Amino acid sequence: MKRKYSVILGNLGNTRDRFCSSYKENPSTMDMLRRAAKIPHVTGIELVGTWDICPQNALQMKKALNHAGLKCVSIIPDLFADKRFWKGSYSSCEPKVRRYALDYTQQMCSIAQELDCDTINLWPGQDGYDYLLCADYEKARAWLCEAIATLATEFPKLRFALEYKPKEPRTHSYIARMADTLLLAQETGCTNVGVTIDTGHAFVAGENVGESIVLAKRAGNRLFHMHFNDNHAMWDDDMIVGTVHSVCYIEMLYWLERCGYKGWLSMDQYPYREDAVDAIGESILWLTQFDAAMQKHRHDLDKIVAANDPIATSRFLRKVLI
């Protein structure tokens, strides 16, 4: 199976955290696009709403993507950095905020259609809570479900991929793990609502990504998109793929193939102190190498998984990795 690789455009720009407001100079959107086009194997781009794409530059972006030979893989509405969403977007207690969040996302959906993009990647990062007895979980989840169902019904040709994460920026996120995200997707009653697995988010959630891929498959082929990065399973560090985990990536690529995933493998990193083009390029090269090893030993992997023998698995991995 030929893999399709993409990158979130904003990952090539300035990086910041709560200690330093700018680790790098921020290039222009078009400069970032030119840099992305130079990364080996990259044929797709994800755009963050308002940061990279808006009604005013949609036509220019479409021309630039076509000129660079890149496809718009998804649009990620900015439901996390706008201070209006400081206490939630779709699940905000304020009706006018919920309405704004919905209107804004509908605008991003229309732009996606203009760009021949079929996926809206939803990460409602501010939708959650920090303290106990400060959130109405029942109402918040109902509002969240209602908003996503409204979008999916209004735009039936688009796929809405819910990206889960256990925490940050809130201490608790409403879509935190694969299971509760699948439940929300099914509650909408819309087959065009599914899931994005961010490998780093899943590691922090204590998940085994291979198993999460199977859960999405069994729930009705709900795995719509993949974000790749690495971390130490304590925080969303957004590091180079393969610098911490290795066996996990071989296993997840195995299950992606076995479950028939044909979507994009998109890089979602935050290279604070590294050259962004080189760091993202390293992630893709690691993935291509892991994938080549998996493909070469595909039939052996089937036997190893079926055997349920940790010693045989260990011997096999030593042969493959060293």
pLDDT tens digits, one per residue of 210-248: 999 999 999 999 999 999 999 999 999 999 999 999 999
pLDDT value of residue 81: 95
d(CA 154, CA 148): 10
**pLDDT tens across 45-94, in order?**
999 999 999 999 999 999 999 999 999 999 999 999 999 999 999 999 99
Tokens 């599914």 found at? 194
Stated length of the chain: 322
Question: What confidence tier does 114 reach under pLDDT thresholds 50, 70, 90?
Answer: very high
Classify residue 63 by burial, with Cβ atoms within 10 Å: 0-12, 13-18, 19+: exposed
Backbone dihedral region of 318: left (phi > 0), alpha (psi from -120 to 50 degrees) or beta? Answer: alpha
4-297 CATH: 3.20.20.150
What's the whole-number mean pLDDT along residues 283-306?
97
First to last CA, the chain: 24
Average pLDDT of the chain is 97
- Residue 26, pLDDT > 90, answer no
> Contact 48/125 with Cβ under 8 angstroms?
no
DSSP string, 63-104: HHHHHHT-EEEEEE---SSSGGGTT-STT-S-HHHHHHHHHH
Residue ranges covered by each domain of the chain: 4-297
Share of the chain above pLDDT 90, in %: 96
Q: What are phi and psi of 249, to 5 degrees?
A: -75, -35
Look at 20-34, 44-58, 169-183, 293-307 and tell me which has the smallest mean pLDDT.
20-34
The helix (H) or strand (E) run that includes residue 159 is strand 159-163
What mean pLDDT is predicted for residues 275-297?
97
User: Pick from 306, 188, 317, 173: which is nearest to 245 by CA?
Assistant: 317
The pTM score is: 0.97
Asked whether the predicted pLDDT for residue 1 surpasses 90, the reply is: no
**pLDDT higher than threshold 90 for residue 25:** no
Residues 62, 71 contacting (CB under 8 angstroms): no
Instruction: Give pLDDT tens digits for 131-168.
Output: 999 999 999 999 999 999 999 999 999 999 999 999 99
